[in-house]
Amino acid sequence: MADLLAVGATALELTPPDDERLETATELSVSVTGPASNAAIAASRLGTASAWLSKLSDDALGRRVAGELRRHGVEPAVCWDEGRQGLSFVERATTPRDDGRIDDRAGAAVASLMPDDLPALDLQGAETLFTSGATLALSDTLAGTVEELFAAFDGRTALALSRSRTLDSSVARIESMLSTTNVLLASEAGAAALGEDGTPPEAAHALAAAHDLDTVVLADSGGDALVWHERTVHEHDPPDTETVDERGAFDALCGGFLGRRIAGDSVNEALAAGVACRALARTVPGPVPLVTPEEVDDTIAMMDGERSGRR
């Protein structure tokens, strides 16, 4: 039985090597990535029994997605159907260029996911149900299904908001979802989309009060993060790292935090694990958070040492 259920869309991401442009690339690497599945992978790699709920195209591309999830210990609890597998084409860049991204997800099987499509799962046996703003933005049908799952779930519900390009079109849906959400995990862009652009502690307090949230996690672009819980704020700074790839890093924070909360850690301890997961994910090429429990614990110890040295 899974303790973490992550529902959402996952794409096959095609990327040229190094910083090559898509328009001149002669080869592309393939990754399996999505906010929900990435978070589930991070949690699974830390020891949390995790399942990913979705709909996949019944073909080789859909099987590629399911196989990658299984490889990292995540159960693909999916419906197989007609439709196509969503794709994303990504090119890496350095300053002054930003990374480029072209999404090709029209007609993706997951966009038509209905509650009755999901395999028989003991939803109430799980501890946490997680999704992301990117999932809500994909289609009204998918968003409605996720809303229905959140409303019926008896455990902890968690929503992540990170990707600014998906937020503007789905703010109304997100605000509706927050009425059934216990834990909000947001980037600076996610908080700003909800109208909160003050200091992180101020934004966390405001979001919790406005939406009756139990817990708010806010992460900035530099890797710092805080958690608001029971009117108390805890903050953690990441260790110094050389960023190899930013993709999947915020998802790793979400998975690390939720996984450690499921394991019984305090919100402060879970945030430290999430920040460590994010820092480690940045050091690995590709969007999948390939972290280990030992690396996370060592990174937390490094963070604690750096904090002591600053006192």
SS3 of the chain = CCCEEEECCCEEEEECCCCCCCCCCCCCEEEEECHHHHHHHHHHHCCCCEEEEEEEECCHHHHHHHHHHHHCCEEEEEEEECCECCEEEEECCCCCCCCEEEEECCCEHHHHCCHHHCCCCCHHHCCEEEEEHHHHHHCHHHHHHHHHHHHHCCCEEEEEECCHHHHHHHHHHHHHHHHHCCEEEEEHHHHHHCCCCCCHHHHHHHHHHHHCCCEEEEECCCCCEEEEECCEEEEECCCCCCCCCCCCHHHHHHHHHHHHHHCCCCHHHHHHHHHHHHHHHCCCCCCCCCCCHHHHHHHHHHHHHHHHHHC
Which listed residue (103, 220, 224, 251) is catalytic?
251
Q: Answer yes or no: 251 catalytic.
A: yes
Query: Which residues belong to the active site?
Result: 251
